[in-house]
Each structure stands twice: as structure tokens, then as C-alpha cells.
């Protein structure tokens, strides 16, 4: 399941950005940026949007009590960029 989530995140950023290099950089920068959520003031939000933490629970099989957080993180980092990328692709002019 972890591999599916991380792969889908990469595909979603690729669909959104229409640029492979930018999608790869964004995917890896995502983890670095969310290390800022270890700041005590942002720690509560980090448990919901930090893919390092939420996907870590998936990797370790710790779904109990974290299902909503995993779903929220997946919706934010997979569903939203994939939807925006799909809309962007449908509106793209074919040359």
C-alpha cells in the first residue's frame, strides 16, 4: 500500500505540473518542507498533512487510529493534484 501511495503522489504531481523534472523535485521537496511541521506550533497540522508521518504509519502497518489522517493526507497530496492536473490536461490546447 505504501508503494501505491508514493507512486500515486508522484503521478499526481506529474499530471499537475506537466513536467517530469519539476514533478520529481516537488515530490522529494515535499518531505523536506514538511519537516517544518515538527515546530510545536505546527505539529498538530503536521500529523494530518505530512506525508512522511502519514505514509510512515502505512509502511509500518499502524492503521489503527490513524485512518482519517492517512485519508486526509492522501486526499491532499494525491486526489487534489490529480484532479487539478486532469482539469489542466482537458483544457490544454492540442498542437
pLDDT tens digits in sequence order for the chain, 95 residues long: 889 998 999 999 999 999 999 998 988 887 777 776 667 767 777 778 888 888 889 999 888 888 999 999 899 999 999 999 999 999 988 87
> Do 47 and 53 contact (CB within 8 A), yes or no?
yes
pLDDT confidence of residue 29: 86
CB 78 within 8 A of CB 12: yes
Cα separation of 73 and 85, whole Å?
Answer: 18
**Helix and strand totals (H; E) in the chain:** 6, 0
Return d(Cα 84, Cα 42) in angstroms, integer.
26
Amino acid at each position: 500500500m505504501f508503494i501505491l501511495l508514493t507512486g500515486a503522489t508522484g503521478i499526481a504531481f506529474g499530471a499537475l505540473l506537466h513536467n517530469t523534472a519539476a514533478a520529481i523535485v516537488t515530490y522529494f521537496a515535499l518531505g523536506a518542507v514538511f519537516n517544518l511541521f515538527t515546530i510545536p506550533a505546527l505539529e498538530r497540522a503536521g500529523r494530518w498533512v505530512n506525508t512522511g508521518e502519514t505514509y510512515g504509519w502505512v509502511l509500518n502497518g499502524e492503521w489503527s487510529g490513524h485512518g482519517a489522517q492517512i485519508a486526509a493526507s492522501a486526499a491532499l497530496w494525491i486526489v487534489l493534484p490529480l484532479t487539478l492536473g486532469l482539469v489542466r490536461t482537458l483544457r490544454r490546447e492540442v498542437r
